[in-house]
Amino acid sequence: KGRGQCRGGGLTGLPLPLQVMLGGAWFTRAFGDPATTAPATLLQRAQAAAREQLGLVAAPARAIVRVQQACIPQYTLGHWQRTERISRFLAEQQLPLSLVGASYAGVSVNDCIASAKAAVGRLLGG
């Protein structure tokens, strides 16, 4: 993941905080071993993406690069069928277990909040 701050990136010329997330399941193929990838390589790639995809040509005034391994679940083929099957099983067996969080029904914060709300609703009989 790369995070940079570009001055003059927007129309106002005010600092623009920008977060670029790189890699995911393709990290090793693109950059090699996450434990040894040079931060400068990741920053360069993040800057190139910001330039090519957003037209931000200014160099960042400050940049922080962090490699966070396995930090966001990446669903594999058949994920939804699997989670539906598990949910059906839990309901059939009446098991007091709720599956909530990024591993199950969407990785965004919004998804996690929505699935937590739905789970609480079910517990309250809604």
Ligand X SMILES: Cc1cc2nc3c(=O)[nH]c(=O)nc-3n(C[C@H](O)[C@H](O)[C@H](O)COP(=O)(O)OP(=O)(O)OC[C@H]3O[C@@H](n4cnc5c(N)ncnc54)[C@H](O)[C@@H]3O)c2cc1C
Closer to ligand X at the Cβ: 90 or 112?
112
71 contacts ligand X (rule: CB under 6 A): yes
74 contributes a contact to ligand X by CB under 6 A:
no
Q: Which residue has the tokens 């098991």?
A: 95
Q: Does 8 sit near ligand X (CB under 6 A)? A: no
C-alpha 43/C-alpha 60 separation (Å) is: 10
Name the β-bridge partners of 64: 3
**Least gap, CB of 85 to ligand X (angstroms):** 20
Q: Is 19 exposed, middle or buried (0-12, 13-18, 19+ CB in 10 A)?
A: exposed
The residue count for binding ligand X (CB under 6 A) is 11
CA atoms within 13 A on the CB side of 79: 11
Interacting span for ligand X (CB under 6 A) from 41-49, 66-74, 76-84, 89-97? 66-74
Helix (H) or strand (E) holding 45: helix 39-54
Q: Is residue 11 close enough to count as binding ligand X by CB under 6 A?
A: no
Token readout for 79 is 């994920």
CB of 12 to ligand X, least distance (A): 22
Residues that bind ligand X (CB under 6 A): 1, 68, 71-72, 101-102, 107-110, 112
